[in-house]
Structure 1
């Protein structure tokens, strides 16, 4: 999931350089959403991973 976030950030930067403002804004918002989902899943895996270890 973090890989998709990086891909969308790079896509947003490239689109912004070439002047496609709408595409850049859309890709940046998708990257932001994916990043926050990644952070939430990472924190949950840290919390629940320690509970189930022997």
Structure 2
């Protein structure tokens, strides 16, 4: 098996009745309308927690 540096997140897609989908983590700026997951909270004063979508 080959190792890679890809991080995959599994989330329930509510638009498909809760079916679980896999999402690949990418390192780039977001575009309007995209969903993001907080994975490394930097500022303790941020309103979001790790795992927030």
TM-score normalised by structure 2 residue count: 0.19
More relative contact order in 1 or in 2 (CA 8 Å, sep 6+)?
1
**Rg larger in 1 or in 2?**
1
Structure with greater strand percent: 2
Q: TM-score, normalised by structure 1?
A: 0.19
More helix by share: 1
